[in-house]
Amino acid sequence: MGSPDFPSTPPYDDTGRPAGSTCAPRLENGDRLTRAEFERRYESRPDLKKAELVEGVVCMPSPTRSGSHARPHASLVGWLFAYVASTPGVQLNDNPTIRLDLDNEPQPDVALLIDPAAGGQARVSDDDYIEGAPELVGEIAASSASYDLHDKLHAYRRNGVREYLVWRTLDRGFDWFGLVDGVYRLRQPDASGVVNSQVFPGLRLAVDALLRGNLPAVVEAQRRGLGEPAHAAFVKRLEARRQSPEPGTE
């Protein structure tokens, strides 16, 4: 008696599709993909709200909980919005997809950019994605075990994100990293519990108050930052750069 005929395993092409297939393969947590293939698969999954490529690996965060992520995220956005509203030439993005490099396309919780027309180091592509390293990126992380403080931190540092903020909600901690000579240095609050940005003059965060849930104190500390002479001078510099583009950029 002859052997029964079993269907053979179809050959696969270099994108993971069965040879000859026109269907996009699913995007799965842990996939190792090129950035171009990651974008193709992500765009085929309109049901997904957030997926990232970090050091060539697909990361798909679990649904966000209220106290450990959603409300802290809203507080971070609100704090930065107060700064941007008084600082023309600075852009705030909530959950933007960023084409950081060929192996990294993260989707941070917040990103603060200097307008490219005013000398910012990132740009917005023709298809409306951020390309390059924003000046500041912020993430809400459950704890220090999160990939936000490991693989993603290294990717941001290597690509020149100048300030990286991580709010560790379960650890009740807040890390503010500043890029110094190619290395992230942890910045400590001053005697009043405030950290001042070295990239965005007038941006200041009352970290101790934030961790205690004292939002009025956070708002008041930021209001004082907006009244500093350094902030007014920063706004003037940005305006002057926007009105005098570099040669060859017009």
- pTM (two decimals): 0.84
φ, ψ for residue 238, nearest 5 deg: -65, -40
Give CA separation, 166 vs 18, 91, 125, 169, in Å.
41, 19, 27, 9
65 vs 176: CA distance, rounded Å:
23
With respect to residue 43, please indicate whether it lies within any of the assigned structural domains: no
24 vs 174: CA distance, rounded Å:
40
Tell me the average pLDDT across 118-124.
Answer: 95
The answer to whether the beta carbons of residues 64 and 88 sit under 8 Å apart is no
Residue 14 in this model has a pLDDT that exceeds 50: no
With respect to residue 195, please indicate whether it lies within any of the assigned structural domains: yes
| Confidence at 21, pLDDT banded by 50, 70, 90 | very low
With respect to residue 135, please indicate whether it lies within any of the assigned structural domains: yes
| Confidence at 144, pLDDT banded by 50, 70, 90 | confident
**DSSP assignment letter at 93:** E
pLDDT score, position 147: 81
Q: What is the three-state SS of 37-69?
A: HHHHHHHCCCCCCCCEEECCEEECCCCCCHHHH
pLDDT score, position 48: 83
The CATH code of the domain that includes 174 is: 3.90.1570.10
242 vs 160: CA distance, rounded Å:
23
Say how many Å lie between the first and final Cα of the chain, rounded: 79
pLDDT per residue as tens digits for the range 224-244: 999 999 999 999 999 999 887
Tell me the average pLDDT across 14-23.
Answer: 46
Residue 92 in this model has a pLDDT that exceeds 90: yes
With respect to residue 84, please indicate whether it lies within any of the assigned structural domains: yes
With respect to residue 57, please indicate whether it lies within any of the assigned structural domains: no
Q: pLDDT exceeding 70 applies to what percent of the chain?
A: 88
**Encoded tokens for 133:** 């390293």
Average pLDDT, the chain: 88
With respect to residue 86, please indicate whether it lies within any of the assigned structural domains: yes
With respect to residue 201, please indicate whether it lies within any of the assigned structural domains: yes
Residue 6 in this model has a pLDDT that exceeds 50: no
With respect to residue 211, please indicate whether it lies within any of the assigned structural domains: yes
Q: What is the CA radius of gyration of the chain?
A: 21
- The total domain count for the chain is 1
Residue with tokens 């002057």: 240
Residue with tokens 């507080």: 75
Query: Which of 30, 76, 79 lies closest to 53 in space, CA to CA?
Result: 30
Which residue range(s) make up the domain with 199? 66-243
42 vs 99: CA distance, rounded Å:
13
12 vs 124: CA distance, rounded Å:
35
